């Protein structure tokens, strides 16, 4: 047995089912070991796609997704997806090939110090410098990647070490015990919640990661406290629940901003500052905060909790609920916003304008998708509309790259989602800019057998930047480009291609595309004049609640 074979045995021991990546000279020994393994190696068309697949796999399963590259340019191509996973709290293990240790002290072909390079975008990383340390490095990597707050780790494997004879065996994994909040912090939080006249719950991705959505829904229901969720907290409470105020997180003010203005207590549950800066909703640091999370609160001048409840989130919510008496309290003022929020959403249901308004596009997509179906949003102007208008009944059914906001994630992410949930419909929602960054992974999807739909918001440019430029300067520059014929491009790859010619086409085309046994692409012209209209609308927003 050599080191590469021991490495693969350790990966099998961790329950790894898939590794996404590209072959290279310096990872030949690892690839050979994988060819004899139960792990399925999925050959991608670009390392960035491989890292995004591992990223979304980790976010959906809670088990570290694994990606593999060679050294040099292969490793640098992984970086974007690794950084995305780390900032968005998705467990990921990146493995890179490397030159032999006998060449690291001199200038060598394609050599970079990958441990130094990955250090800023990972929780931890290490190089295997002796065969015997392989089991310890792999066990530590997975433990750290999957521990709260999850993130990315990196293992560097020099080619001469990979080929060396190795003796050893995988380490036992052991079960992580839950940690529970102190009764002192629970009592303190319960007292603040009981006293508040207009509390508001802010639910973040930690609710999703810790499977606490049922506990949160019960907590909010019994105490009659409205709930807003971050972009990454969608589905923390069903969007159809009468206390759900939907998503917060736009840089512009929105209806829900009025709720924060009036709140005399924000109960932040599973909330991470990177999801939506507290300086946006608590700029003066005057709103009292109760922090409920699996880890302690980050330090921020706008986020200084009056009570900090650190431990298993479901247990913390249950214990606080038993102690917070809110009988005879008024209905929190922010709940009156729900009618305005829902009316704004519903007004586009019958819109027949063409090109299609983004609100209508998303409204129709929601009608077609089931409660358990999954959308993966790319980054661009459409992300802002998806974040605001695509609402979720269940956790982890709308995946948005938010902390790192990386373009190109949708198509690779959709492939991973379909691997995890082959029985569900999956749609990659992307702009034409994001589509062209990683559309090559549609070939991977066809080859692997993961049929999903890619819905392109086509505006012939970088719409989000154009939106920002108009807001700042009243004009745009350097954001327009031309596109290929997306239908013909899809068909040339052996996929199904569709083009939307009217608003009425959208729902039947979505249904037809979702019924296909191969990946499908829908090209939909979008009316991004709505971007500036929305800016004007929220600029004129008058909070009366």
Q: What is the pLDDT of residue 544?
A: 57
Q: How far is Cα 99 from Cα 25, in angstroms, rounded to an integer?
A: 10
71-129, pLDDT tens digit by residue? 999 999 999 999 999 999 999 999 999 988 877 777 777 788 999 999 999 999 999 99
Determine the Cα–Cα distance for residues 358 and 378; give it in Å rounded to an integer.
Answer: 14
Q: What is the mean pLDDT of residues 190-203?
A: 97
CA distance 84 to 79: 8
Distance in angstroms (rounded) separating the CA atoms of residues 276 and 251: 9
Q: What is the mean pLDDT of the chain?
A: 95
- What are the tens digits of pLDDT across the range 28-66? 999 999 999 999 999 999 999 999 999 999 999 999 999
Query: How many residues make up the chain in this entry?
Result: 545
pLDDT band at 482 (very low <50, low <70, confident <90, very high): very high
DSSP 420-468: H-TTS-EEEEEEHHHHHHHTTHHHHHHHHT---EEEEEE-SB-HHHHHH
Q: Please say if the pLDDT value at position 141 is more than 90.
A: yes
Which among 433, 456, 431, 437 is positioned nearest to 519, based on CA atoms? 456
Domain 3-163 maps to which CATH number in 3.40.50.970, 2.130.10.10, 3.30.700.30, 3.65.10.10?
A: 3.40.50.970
pLDDT tens-digit readout, 280-297: 999 999 999 999 999 999
| Rounded distance between C-alpha atoms, residue 241 and residue 26, angstroms | 53
pLDDT given at position 176: 76
Please state which CATH class domain 183-332 belongs to.
Answer: alpha beta
Domains 3-163 and 183-332 share a fold: yes
Cβ neighbours for 6, distance < 8 A, ≥ 6 positions apart: 131, 134, 135, 166, 168
**Distance in angstroms (rounded) separating the CA atoms of residues 245 and 267:** 14
Please state the pTM of the whole predicted model: 0.96
For 281-294, the three-class secondary structure string (H helix, E strand, C coil) is: HCCCCCCCEEEEEC
* Whole-number Å distance between alpha carbons of 226 and 447: 46
DSSP 275: G
- Residue-wise DSSP of 252-312: S--HHHHHHHH-SEEEEES--GGGS-HHHH-TTS-S-EEEEESSPPPPBTTB--SEEEES-
Pair 217, 393: CB distance under 8 Å: no
Return all residues near 198 (Cβ < 8 A) that are at least 6 apart. Answer: 262, 263, 264, 265, 330, 332, 333, 334
Pick from 259, 266, 254: nearest CA to 333: 259
Longest dimension (CA), the chain: 75
CA distances from 252 to 121, 200, 204, 410, 511 (A): 28, 19, 19, 24, 34
Residue 541: per-residue pLDDT = 60
Percent of the chain, pLDDT > 90?
Answer: 88
pLDDT score at 373: 98
Nearest to 214 by CA among 59, 393, 89: 393
pLDDT over 80 (residue 542): no
- pLDDT value, residue 249: 85
Helix (H/G/I), strand (E/B), else coil: 44: coil
The CA radius of gyration of the chain, in Å to the nearest whole number, is 24
Query: What are the boundaries of each domain within the chain?
Result: 3-163, 183-332, 347-536
What is the rounded CA–CA span in Å between residue 219 and residue 199? 13
Q: How far apart are the first and last CA of the chain?
A: 70
Q: How far apart are CA 221 and CA 242, in angstroms?
A: 9
Distance of CA 6 to the CA centre of its chain: 32
Return the sign of the alpha-carbon dihedral for residues 281, 285, 290, 291: positive
Average pLDDT over residues 269-287: 95
Beta strand segments in 70-141, E: 92-98, 124-127
* Assigned token pair, 536: 């004007």
What is the C-alpha separation between 440 and 433, in angstroms, rounded?
13
Instruction: For the domain made up of 347-536, give the CATH fold.
Output: Rossmann fold (3.40.50)
Give the model's confidence band at 187: pLDDT under 50 very low, under 70 low, under 90 confident, else very high: very high
CA 9 – CA 6 distance, rounded (Å): 5
**Six-digit token string for 358:** 């983004």
Asked if 94 and 82 count as a contact pair (C-beta separation under 8 A), the reply is yes
pLDDT in tens, 294-345: 999 999 999 999 999 999 999 999 999 999 999 988 888 888 899 989 999 9
| 3-state secondary structure (DSSP) of residue 18 | strand
């Amino acid at each position: 047995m050599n080191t590469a074979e021991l490495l693969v045995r350790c990966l099998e021991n961790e329950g790894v089912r898939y590794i996404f990546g590209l072959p290279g000279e310096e990872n030949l020994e690892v690839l050979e070991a994988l060819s004899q393994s139960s792990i399925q190696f999925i050959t991608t068309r670009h390392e960035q796609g491989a890292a995004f697949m591992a990223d979304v796999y980790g976010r959906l399963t809670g088990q570290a997704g694994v990606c593999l590259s060679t050294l040099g340019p292969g490793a640098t191509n992984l970086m974007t997806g690794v950084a995305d996973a780390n900032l968005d709290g998705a467990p990921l293990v990146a493995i890179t090939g490397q030159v032999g240790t006998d060449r690291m002290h001199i200038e060598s072909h394609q050599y970079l110090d990958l441990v130094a390079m990955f250090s800023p975008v990972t929780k931890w990383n290490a190089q295997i410098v002796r065969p015997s340390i392989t089991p310890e490095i792999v066990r530590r990597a997975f433990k750290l990647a999957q521990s709260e707050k999850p993130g990315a780790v990196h293992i560097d494997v020099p080619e001469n070490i990979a080929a060396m004879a190795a003796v050893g065996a995988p380490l036992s994994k052991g079960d992580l015990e839950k940690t529970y909040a102190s009764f002192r912090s629970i009592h303190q939080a319960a007292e603040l919640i009981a006293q508040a006249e207009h509390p508001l719950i802010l639910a973040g991705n930690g609710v999703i990661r810790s499977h606490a959505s049922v506990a949160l829904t019960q907590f909010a229901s019994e105490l009659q406290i409205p709930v807003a969720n971050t972009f990454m907290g969608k589905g923390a409470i069903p969007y159809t629940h009468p206390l759900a105020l939907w998503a917060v997180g736009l840089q512009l003010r929105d209806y829900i901003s009025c709720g924060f203005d009036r709140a005399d207590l924000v109960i932040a549950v599973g909330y991470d500052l990177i999801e939506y800066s507290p300086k946006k909703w608590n700029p003066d640091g005057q709103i009292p905060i109760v922090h409920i999370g699996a880890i302690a609160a980050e330090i921020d001048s706008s986020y200084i909790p009056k009570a900090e409840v650190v431990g298993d989130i479901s247990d913390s919510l249950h214990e606080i609920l038993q102690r917070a008496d809110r009988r005879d309290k008024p209905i929190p003022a922010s709940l009156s916003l729900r009618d305005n929020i829902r009316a704004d959403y519903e007004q586009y249901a019958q819109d027949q304008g063409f090109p299609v308004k983004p609100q209508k596009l998303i409204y129709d997509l929601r009608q077609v998708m089931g409660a358990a179906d999954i959308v993966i949003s790319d980054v661009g102007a459409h992300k802002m509309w998806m974040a605001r208008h695509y609402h979720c009944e269940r956790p982890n059914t709308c995946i948005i790259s938010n902390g790192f906001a990386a373009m190109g994630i949708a198509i690779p992410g959709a492939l991973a989602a379909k691997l995890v949930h082959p029985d569900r419909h999956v749609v990659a929602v992307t702009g034409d800019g994001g589509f062209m960054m990683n559309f090559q992974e549609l070939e991977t999807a066809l080859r692997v057998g993961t049929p999903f739909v890619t819905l392109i918001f086509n505006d012939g440019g970088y719409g989000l930047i154009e939106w920002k430029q108009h807001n700042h300067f009243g004009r745009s520059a350097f954001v327009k480009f031309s596109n290929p014929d997306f239908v013909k491009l899809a068909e040339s790859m052996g996929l199904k291609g569709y083009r939307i010619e009217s608003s009425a086409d959208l729902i039947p085309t979505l249904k037809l595309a979702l019924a296909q046994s191969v990946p499908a692409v829908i090209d939909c012209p979008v009316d991004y004049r709505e971007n500036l209209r929305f800016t004007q609308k929220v600029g004129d927003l008058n909070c009366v609640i």
